[in-house]
């Protein structure tokens, strides 16, 4: 396959940045999207140009480090697939592909396709945990958890924190990310003692970090590589309202 | 320039032999009470005094994340580092199958002793009994801890925890969270760590990479790290340093490790005096997706748990190119079930990998290049229905489909072995302290518990055991029993390490040659895979040992690293890690050459049984090989292994 790539290049947060066009020939359909960028970067290095900076690590769709906007879609065209798991067979010979970083006020660009998602870590730090000091846990079977509850908690716990939901949202909202963690922990009996403070603190941090509000557009769930459902946001709203009526 | 020093001078002078060493921290007496007695004899730091002590933790995977969170909970000041943009990204997250624990919830005859026994045997009798017994004891506490953190393990309809079986084992002791157990456990540790970061007890430095260790008066007192965004090189000082930086599998270039996984922290510590033990014990995982082309940057693992229900086979006829559905039952060879009827498809990883290699070498492999065997779920789908298979393995099947474009519900998967885990690592004593006082090494980065082969679902167990339960009291003991003078950033030892690190990065940028860093990494990886991969021979290892110094010399002459060091420069990060792999690879091959026996993941073709199984030589090699760095030929220190409980025997899984 021969491709035309238009890639966002930006040296640093203060630089204006621009789309730069590269022609790439002989791309194999069995290549992953990031392997395609590797090939481009090898060429750029030899040509004495700066390679395109992009985040990636596990390349198995689980670490959440990768993520770019491909032809306007966070993580590209394939459903429930991270950028690293996307393969070039999803594209056609002669195609022009636009590659941009996550676009969100709360995710400033670091360089090229690399953005700063540390706001997510601060949301988790403000309440996305169960306060259990190492060694203090009761026997694992002391509290049975009904299978449907455990499964629903698991479905929300699969969030990889990649930020595609924020990138896809017209408001740059982190509601899907926050709701997944609130739902995961608030569903479980182990999470019950901190149920109210957790949701209040996490929502407050989400707002402080500059993420936008939710207007039920639903783009987030389409972009989410792990299929976190929109109902989790409904659950977040419910948990939040409930917490306001309690201590 | 030290980077181009050859470690040997040809012939057999690749290493010299030094004094034997012993694990002086391990208590003796009955194995059941050794850990209790060690904890009791350990000195304690008063809770009010802990805040006066600072500990550096490098890495935020299961071991590092658990250690950082726990030390901070106990009151220590923790400074923690990871090269990824968030502590939640560490490669533990990619572990799929599960975590072992001797809970015996199944009432199927499991016990701490059986987990201990299985692990020592599975490791082909090259691990320490004391360490493994402790690991088995702690395993049950880990499950309790993780459940309390909200880790959503798979459950039965009763609401109680489900378990499954893994390779090398005949009980069901593996707890799991679909095919994402590592993710769920890591998120649990990350959340505990995040709570401590928010509380101000942990100072976290993401996108910051340790590039060297600071040793003052013979003790580890800090690290030099580079901020990967600004390029700033900064020394950090502490009372103790904990390395939780994972394994060295990426020396093979193609592995199932994350792209960023590297050996720089452990190798730099080795150069500063920490012994490196058993580097030749590398695990080749049998169930990975075969390679598809030259451009390939990494390999993807399919969890071993698939071998619970999937059946492995190849066509009986050599060079059979029919599609799998056209090959009748009678013309298929379910070779693992045939050769190892007791364990069947669930033999340990080293055995399953070698068996696949034999089939492929013998011309019965399937797929492009004949480098693959089938992993077939047709029977499982018939037996329990597609929905049940989807519930158990859905995400793995999806992953396979995305990478290969084939639907494993309809077509059998093709799998081939790939480098996955490294049992070797920095030498540590029973307290997890390295040969540099004050430097502790935990998780995959150390060598201690898996011997020559790790059993499935034991890496998560070890990482969390080290981080949550073993390291914290032992680190306290070190701090309480050591008089640590104050050190300052002006100390000549600090400025000289900073100078070395800066100089090295500068040299990498100055070369401005004509080859990319990756091209060297790929070449090194291919060489090591060919000569020090699934099968190793003296001639092949000597060939590799002749080639690696040449390649290293070429690297320092021809590598091209664009940009400068005062910015985000991923090529520079990569080149610096590859420079260390080019040194480490040589030690890997030296260790493999010196160990003339086969054991576990280390298969010397000269040493095999008539059936082609690994043949140990307990008379000459029942020791851990701890290597000392000299700048020239490394010095071998043997730590003899003693087996008082598990009888040394040839492993038999048939």
Q: How many whole angstroms separate alpha carbon B620 and alpha carbon A99?
A: 58
Closest alpha carbon within chain A to B570: A53
pLDDT of residue B63 exceeding 70, the answer is: yes
Residue A58: list chain B partners with CB under 8 A.
89, 91, 93-94, 258-259
Q: Least CB-CB distance to A130: which of B150, B197, B259?
A: B150
The mean pLDDT value for B534-556 works out to 97
Helices (H) and strands (E) in chain B, counts: 17, 21
pLDDT of residue B238 exceeding 90, the answer is: yes
Report pLDDT digits (tens) over B69-117: 999 999 999 999 999 999 999 999 999 889 999 999 999 999 999 999 9
Residue A120: list chain B partners with CB under 8 A.
86
Report pLDDT digits (tens) over B448-482: 899 999 999 999 999 999 999 999 999 999 999 99
The structural domains of chain B, with segments of one domain joined by +, span 2-6+490-640, 44-281+422-481, 285-420
Q: Does residue B589 contact residue B532 with C-beta atoms inside 8 Å?
A: yes
Q: What is the mean pLDDT of chain B?
A: 95
pLDDT of residue B4 exceeding 80, the answer is: no
Report pLDDT digits (tens) over A17-75: 999 999 999 999 999 999 999 999 999 999 999 999 999 999 999 999 999 999 999 99
Report pLDDT digits (tens) over A110-141: 999 999 999 999 999 999 999 999 999 999 99
Q: Return the percentage of chain B with pLDDT > 90, whole number.
A: 89
Q: How many whole angstroms separate alpha carbon B126 and alpha carbon B278?
A: 10
Is this structure's pTM higher than 0.90? yes
Are B161 and A124 within 8 A, CB to CB?
no
* B376 DSSP assignment: E
Site of tokens 């058993």: B278
Q: Are strands A3-9 and A96-100 parallel, antiparallel or unpaired?
A: parallel
Distance from CA of B439 to the nearest CA of A (A): 22
Q: Which CATH number fits domain B2-6+490-640: 3.40.50.10300, 1.20.58.100, 3.30.420.10, 1.10.1750.10?
A: 1.20.58.100
Q: CB-based contact (8 Å) between B200 and chain A? A: no
Q: Return the percentage of chain B with pLDDT > 70, whole number.
A: 98
Are B85 and A154 within 8 A, CB to CB?
no
Distance from CA of B202 to the nearest CA of A (A): 11
3-state class (DSSP) for residue A181: helix
Q: Does residue A172 contact residue B188 with C-beta atoms inside 8 Å?
A: no
Are A38 and B206 within 8 A, CB to CB?
no
Q: How many whole angstroms separate alpha carbon B601 and alpha carbon B651?
A: 13
Query: What's the confidence (pLDDT) of residue B31?
Result: 98
The mean pLDDT value for B602-628 works out to 94
Domains and CATH numbers, chain A: 3-111 (3.10.20.30), 118-244 (1.10.1060.10)
Distance from CA of B322 to the nearest CA of A (A): 22
Q: Does residue B39 contact residue B45 with C-beta atoms inside 8 Å?
A: no
Are A144 and B159 within 8 A, CB to CB?
yes
Are B192 and A129 within 8 A, CB to CB?
yes
Report pLDDT digits (tens) over B383-418: 999 999 998 888 889 889 999 999 999 999 999 999
Are B157 and A63 within 8 A, CB to CB?
no
B54-58 β-sheet, strand order: B202-205, B77-81, B54-58, B240-243, B439-441
Q: Does residue A116 contact residue A81 with C-beta atoms inside 8 Å?
A: no
Q: Return the percentage of chain A with pLDDT > 90, whole number.
A: 99
pLDDT of residue A3 exceeding 80, the answer is: yes
Residue B391: list chain A partners with CB under 8 A.
none
Are A49 and B562 within 8 A, CB to CB?
yes
Query: What's the confidence (pLDDT) of residue B11?
Result: 42
Q: CB-based contact (8 Å) between B608 and chain A? A: no
Query: What's the confidence (pLDDT) of residue B652?
Result: 80
Beta strands in B124-207 (DSSP E): 163-164, 174-175, 202-205
3-state class (DSSP) for residue B486: coil
Strand partners, B17: B636
pLDDT of residue B6 exceeding 80, the answer is: no
Closest CA to A210 of A173, A179, A182, A159: A173
What confidence tier does A84 reach under pLDDT thresholds 50, 70, 90?
A: very high
The mean pLDDT value for B367-386 works out to 94
CB atoms within 10 A of CB B23: 18
Q: CB-based contact (8 Å) between B553 and chain A? A: no
Query: What's the confidence (pLDDT) of residue A247?
Result: 66
CB atoms within 10 A of CB B252: 28
Q: CB-based contact (8 Å) between B63 and chain A? A: no
Q: How many whole angstroms separate alpha carbon B263 and alpha carbon B282?
A: 14
Q: CB-based contact (8 Å) between B609 and chain A? A: no
pLDDT: which is higher, B165 or B573: B573
pLDDT of residue B153 exceeding 60, the answer is: yes
The mean pLDDT value for B546-566 works out to 97
B285-420 sits in which CATH class?
alpha beta
Distance from CA of B140 to the nearest CA of A (A): 9
Q: Does residue B224 contact residue B264 with C-beta atoms inside 8 Å?
A: no
Chain A / chain B CB contacts < 8 angstroms: 224
Element (H, E) at B587: helix B570-594
Q: CA-CA distances (angstroms) from residue B627 to A92, B181, B269, B327, B506?
A: 53, 34, 12, 51, 29
* B444 DSSP assignment: G
Q: Least CB-CB distance to B194: which of A125, A135, A144?
A: A125
Site of tokens 């060598």: B447
Query: What's the confidence (pLDDT) of residue A83?
Result: 98
Residue B292: list chain A partners with CB under 8 A.
28, 30
Residue in B89, B291, B300 to test binding to A, most A beta-carbons within 10 Å? B89
Q: How many whole angstroms separate alpha carbon A128 and alpha carbon B88?
A: 13
The mean pLDDT value for A187-209 works out to 98
Distance from CA of A57 to the nearest CA of B (A): 5
Q: Least CB-CB distance to A131: which of B157, B190, B195?
A: B195
Which residues of B carry out catalysis?
349
Closest alpha carbon within chain A to B145: A137
Q: CA-CA distances (angstroms) from residue B400 to B307, B438, B571, B622, B637?
A: 15, 44, 30, 40, 44
pLDDT of residue B29 exceeding 70, the answer is: yes
* B466 DSSP assignment: I
Judged by CB atoms within 8 Å, which residues 252-271 of B form the interface with A? 256, 258-260
If one looks up domain B44-281+422-481 in CATH, what number appears? 3.50.50.60
Residue in A14, A25, A58 to test binding to B, most B beta-carbons within 10 Å? A58
CB atoms within 10 A of CB A122: 17
pLDDT of residue B2 exceeding 60, the answer is: no
Residue A184: list chain B partners with CB under 8 A.
150, 152
Are A157 and B152 within 8 A, CB to CB?
yes
Residue in A25, A108, A123, A124 to test binding to B, most B beta-carbons within 10 Å? A124
């Amino acid at each position: 396959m021969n491709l035309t790539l238009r890639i966002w290049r930006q040296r640093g947060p203060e630089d204006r940045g621009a789309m730069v066009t590269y022609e790439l020939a002989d791309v194999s359909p069995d290549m992953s999207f990031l392997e395609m960028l590797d090939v481009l970067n090898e060429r750029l290095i030899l040509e004495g140009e700066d390679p395109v900076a992009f985040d990636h690590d596990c390349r198995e769709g689980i670490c959440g480090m990768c993520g770019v906007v491909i032809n306007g879609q966070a993580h590209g065209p394939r459903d429930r697939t991270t950028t690293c798991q996307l393969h070039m067979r999803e594209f056609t010979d002669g195609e022009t592909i636009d590659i941009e970083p996550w676009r969100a006020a709360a995710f400033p660009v670091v360089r090229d396709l690399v953005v700063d998602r540390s706001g997510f870590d601060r949301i988790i730090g403000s309440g996305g945990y169960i306060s259990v000091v190492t060694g203090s846990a009761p026997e694992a079977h002391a509290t049975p958890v009904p299978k449907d509850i455990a499964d629903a908690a698991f479905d929300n716990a699969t969030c990889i924190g990649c930020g595609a939901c924020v990138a896809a949202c017209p408001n740059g909202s982190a509601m899907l990310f926050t709701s997944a963690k609130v739902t995961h922990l608030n569903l479980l009996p182990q999470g019950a003692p901190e149920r109210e403070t957790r949701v209040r603190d996490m929502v407050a941090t989400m707002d402080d970090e500059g993420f936008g509000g939710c207007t039920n557009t639903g783009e987030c769930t389409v972009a989410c590589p792990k299929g976190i459902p929109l109902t989790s946001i409904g659950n977040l709203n419910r948990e939040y309202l409930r917490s306001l009526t309690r201590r | 320039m030290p980077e181009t020093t050859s470690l040997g001078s040809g012939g057999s002078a690749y290493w010299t032999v030094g004094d034997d060493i012993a694990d002086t921290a391990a208590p003796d007496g009955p194995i059941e009470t050794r850990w209790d007695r060690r904890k009791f004899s350990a000195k304690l730091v008063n809770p009010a005094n802990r805040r006066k002590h600072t500990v550096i933790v490098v890495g935020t995977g299961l071991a590092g994340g658990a250690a950082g969170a726990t030390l901070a909970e106990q009151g220590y000041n923790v400074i923690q580092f990871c090269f990824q943009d968030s502590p939640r990204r560490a490669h533990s997250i990619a572990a799929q199958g599960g975590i072992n624990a001797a809970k015996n919830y199944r009432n199927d005859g499991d016990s701490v002793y059986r987990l201990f026994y299985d692990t020592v045997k599975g490791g082909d009798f090259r691990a320490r009994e004391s360490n493994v017994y402790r690991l088995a004891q702690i395993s049950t506490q880990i499950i309790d801890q993780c459940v309390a953190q909200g880790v959503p393990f798979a459950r039965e309809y009763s609401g109680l925890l489900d378990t499954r079986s893994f390779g090398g084992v005949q009980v069901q002791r593996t707890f799991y969270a679909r095919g994402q157990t590592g993710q769920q456990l890591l998120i649990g540790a990350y959340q505990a760590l995040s709570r401590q970061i928010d509380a101000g007890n942990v100072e976290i430095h993401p996108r910051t990479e340790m590039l060297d260790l600071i040793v003052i008066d013979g003790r580890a007192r800090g690290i030099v790290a580079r901020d990967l965004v600004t390029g700033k090189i900064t020394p950090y000082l502490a009372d103790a340093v904990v390395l939780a930086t994972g394994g060295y599998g990426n020396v093979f270039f193609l592995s199932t490790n994350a792209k960023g996984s590297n050996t720089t922290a452990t190798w730099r510590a080795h150069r500063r005096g920490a012994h490196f033990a058993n580097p030749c014990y590398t695990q080749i995982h049998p169930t990975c997706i075969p390679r598809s082309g030259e451009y390939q940057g990494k390999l993807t693992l399919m969890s071993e748990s698939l071998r619970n229900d999937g059946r492995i086979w190849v066509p009986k006829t050599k060079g059979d190119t029919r599609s799998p559905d056209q090959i009748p039952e009678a013309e298929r060879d379910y070779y693992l079930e045939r050769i190892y009827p007791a364990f069947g498809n669930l033999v340990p990883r080293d055995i399953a990998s070698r068996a696949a290699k034999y089939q492929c070498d013998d011309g019965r492999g399937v797929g492009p290049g004949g480098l693959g065997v089938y992993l077939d779920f047709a029977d499982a789908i018939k037996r329990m229905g597609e929905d049940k298979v989807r519930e158990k393995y859905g995400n793995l099947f999806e992953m396979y489909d995305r990478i290969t474009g084939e639907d494993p519900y309809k077509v059998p998967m093709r799998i081939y072995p790939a480098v996955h885990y490294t049992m070797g690592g920095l030498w540590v004593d029973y307290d997890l302290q390295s040969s540099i006082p004050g430097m502790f090494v935990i998780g995959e980065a150390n060598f201690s518990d898996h011997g020559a082969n790790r059993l499935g679902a034991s890496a998560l167990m070890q990482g969390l055991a080290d981080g949550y339960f073993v390291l914290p009291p032992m680190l306290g003991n070190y701090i309480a029993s050591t008089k640590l003078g104050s050190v300052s950033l002006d100390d000549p030892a600090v400025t000289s390490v900073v100078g070395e690190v800066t100089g090295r990065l500068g040299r990498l940028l100055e070369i401005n040659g004509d080859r990319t860093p990756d091209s060297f990494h790929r070449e090194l990886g291919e060489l090591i895979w060919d000569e020090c991969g699934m099968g190793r021979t003296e001639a092949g290892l000597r060939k590799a040992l002749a080639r690696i110094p040449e390649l290293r010399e070429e690297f320092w002459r021809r590598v091209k690293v664009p940009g400068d060091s005062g910015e985000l420069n991923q090529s520079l990060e990569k080149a610096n890690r590859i420079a260390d792999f080019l040194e480490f690879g040589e030690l890997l091959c030296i260790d493999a050459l010196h160990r003339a026996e086969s054991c576990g993941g280390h298969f010397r073709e000269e040493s095999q049984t008539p059936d082609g199984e690994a043949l140990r030589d307990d008379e000459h090699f029942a020791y851990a090989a701890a290597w000392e760095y000299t700048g020239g030929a490394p010095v071998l220190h043997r730590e003899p292994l003693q087996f008082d409980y598990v009888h040394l025997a040839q492993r038999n899984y048939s």
